[in-house]
Amino acid sequence: MPFDRRFILSVNWSLVALTAMLFGVGVLNLYSASGFRMGDELTMQPFYNRQLIWGLAGLSCLLAMVVFDYKYLAVIAWPLVISTSVLLVLVLVMGKTVGGAKRWLPLGGFAFQPSEVAKIALLLLAAKLLSKRSERLGWLDLAGILAVSMPVALLIIVEPDLGTGLNVLLLVAGLILYRGLAGPVFKTLAIACPILVPCGWFFLKPYQKGRILTLFDPQRDPLGAGYHIIQSQIAIGSGQMWGKGFLEGTQSQLRYLPEKHTDFAVAVFAEEWGFIGGIVLLALFCLFLLQFYVTAKNAKDRFGSYLAAGVFFYFFWQILINMGMVLGIMPVVGIPLPFISYGGSATIVNFTLVGIVVNVSMRRYLFKKG
Interacting residues with other proteins (CB under 8 A): 5-6, 9-10, 36-40, 134, 177-180, 222-223, 227, 231, 233-241, 250-251, 253-257, 270, 274-275, 278-279, 282-283, 285-286, 289-290, 292-293, 296-302, 305, 309, 312, 316, 319-320, 323, 327-329, 364-368
Task: Indicate the residue among 1 and 241 with the shorter CB distance to other proteins.
Answer: 241
Task: Indicate the residue among 57 and 290 with the shorter CB distance to other proteins.
Answer: 290
Task: Indicate the residue among 17 and 177 with the shorter CB distance to other proteins.
Answer: 177
Task: Indicate the residue among 60 and 240 with the shorter CB distance to other proteins.
Answer: 240
3-state secondary structure the chain: CCCCCHHHHHCCHHHHHHHHHHHHHHHHHHHHHCEEEECCEEEECCHHHHHHHHHHHHHHHHHHHHCCCCHHHHHHHHHHHHHHHHHHHHHHHHCEEECCEEEEEECCCCEECHHHHHHHHHHHHHHHHHCCCCCCECHHHHHHHHHHHHHHHHHHHCCCCHHHHHHHHHHHHHHHHHHCECHHHHHHHHHHHHHHHHHHHHHCCHHHHHHHHHHHCHHHCCCCHHHHHHHHHHHHHHCCCCCCCCCCCHHHHCCCCCCCCCCCHHHHHHHHHHHHHHHHHHHHHHHHHHHHHHHHHHCCCHHHHHHHHHHHHHHHHHHHHHHHHHCCCCCCCCCCCCCCCCCHHHHHHHHHHHHHHHHHHHCCCCCCCC
Residue 6 C-beta: closest distance to other proteins, Å: 6
Residue 123 C-beta: closest distance to other proteins, Å: 15
Residue 348 C-beta: closest distance to other proteins, Å: 25
Task: Indicate the residue among 9 and 140 with the shorter CB distance to other proteins.
Answer: 9
Residue 172 C-beta: closest distance to other proteins, Å: 14
Residue 290 C-beta: closest distance to other proteins, Å: 6
